Amino acid sequence: MADQFAASMASVEPGSVPALRWEEPPEGPVLVVLDQRRLPAEEVGLVCTDVPALVDAVRTLAVRGAPLLGIAGAYGVALAAVRGFDVVEAAELLAHARPTAVNLAYGVRRALGAYEEALKDGSGPAQAAAAALAEARALHREDAEASARMAEHGLALLEELVPGGGFRVLTHCNTGALVSGGEGTALAVASAAHRAGRLRRLWVDETRPLLQGARLTAYEAARAGMAYTLLADNAAGSLFAAGEVDAVLIGADRIAADGSVANKVGSYPLAVLARYHHVPFLVVAPVTTVDLGTPTGSEIEVEQRPGHEITEFTVVPPGAGAEPGTGVPVAPLGTQAYNPAFDVTPPELVTAVVTENGVVSPVTRAGLAELCGRSRRG
């Protein structure tokens, strides 16, 4: 069960919105996630007291974005362990809550591994639960560190690729502090450019159908005081044609071993546009998003979401994932919809992959494997 409460998040300083936090009230530990379905209208925490509530929060995109899904998955395992639920069953449920972002299963595996290791070493359930929680906290911290490193590498790359004045950067979906223990992935690079006085304009794709760009990236950009402009996804072509884009910066949900990038649907058309207009197309993601076990892009499972997200406007509260028939209809009753949550961009359209360990460009199987083999701080 999850109850909702109006958290004190309205007073959070610009740029420091906590996407999730572990709390230990007298009634027992809980995971509180900032309910992203309700942004930007309201900053409300969603209190998850058990794994089914967290799984529902993941499926309905209250908590979302690849790195954050990994962190949430790890805390979810800790939650099950601390509250005495079946940890293996909880891990299974969490790992399969959404299929595309590889970070989710990775985070779950790490916390479960720490839990099982502790039991094997003779610890009791309480100590094993503490080990799972410590692992979730470690992952949370590591993600913040990775985020800072990606921002450094990404800014250096932008400076190399776009010499001269300020950058006009186009981004898609939401890749900032809302998806991370730190400042995020692609948006962390834009934030670093902003702080360095180099961000001339952040072009924000609205990101149909659930509007992660309009609701979340614009919210983060406004809080950070960036110069940003929102556009309908299908306006991107005319923006490129007008010579208004210096670089595209996106995140990733899974990068296959060959460098194919699964990210929010609409990323692939941007890559095609970028190539045609000779604009760098940069993917920013932690190495935990690179899945060397998935050989090529065609093996990446792309999540298919319900058609009513397209045929009805459901994005305003109560939020994405609302029951069919409860939104404002925008198509005739019974219309079939095609609603993949992600698309896959082939490596030849990606100028560079930026990770905390450095940059791969051109994007090759060997280059990616090499980068993933390096220590985190390499």
By annotation, the residues acting in catalysis are: 253
Q: With respect to ligand MRU, which residue has the nearer C-beta, 132 or 146? A: 146
Binds ligand MRU (CB under 6 A): choice among 60, 175, 191, 351 = 175
Cα separation, 79 vs 28, whole angstroms: 10
Largest pairwise CA distance in the chain: 65
Angle between helices 66-82 and 125-161 in degrees, nearest 10:
170
Q: State the residue number with the nearest CB to ligand MRU.
A: 251
Pattern 97-136, ligand MRU, x by CB under 6 A: ----x-----------------------------------
Provide, rounded to whole angstroms, the least separation between the CB of residue 107 and ligand MRU: 13
Pattern 34-73, ligand MRU, x by CB under 6 A: ---------------------------x--xxxx------
Q: Is the peptide bond before 280 cis (omega within 30 degrees of 0)?
A: no
Which DSSP string do the residues of 31-89 spell out, in sequence order?
EEEE-GGGTTT---EEEE-SHHHHHHHHHTTSS-SHHHHHHHHHHHHHHHHHTT--HHH
Cα separation, 118 vs 149, whole angstroms: 31
Binds ligand MRU (CB under 6 A): choice among 62, 139, 341, 359 = 341
Would you count residue 209 as binding ligand MRU (CB under 6 A)? no
Provide, rounded to whole angstroms, the least separation between the CB of residue 265 and ligand MRU: 8
Would you count residue 263 as binding ligand MRU (CB under 6 A)? yes
Contacts of 318 (CB under 8 A, 6+ apart): 37, 326
Cα separation, 343 vs 268, whole angstroms: 6
For the segment 270-329, give every residue that binds ligand MRU (CB under 6 A): none
Would you count residue 253 as binding ligand MRU (CB under 6 A)? yes
Would you count residue 264 as binding ligand MRU (CB under 6 A)? yes
Would you count residue 259 as binding ligand MRU (CB under 6 A)? no
CB 94 within 8 A of CB 101: no
Would you count residue 251 as binding ligand MRU (CB under 6 A)? yes
The upper half-sphere exposure of residue 245, i.e. CA atoms within 13 Å in the direction of its Cβ, equals: 30
Q: Which residue is associated with the tokens 């690079």?
A: 189
Angle between helices 66-82 and 51-59 in degrees, nearest 10:
170
The stretch near ligand MRU (CB under 6 A) out of 24-32, 74-82, 225-233, 248-256 is 248-256
Q: With respect to ligand MRU, which residue has the nearer C-beta, 147 or 351? A: 147
Applying CB under 6 A, the residues found at the interface with ligand MRU are: 61, 64-67, 101, 173, 175, 179, 184-185, 212, 251-253, 263-264, 341
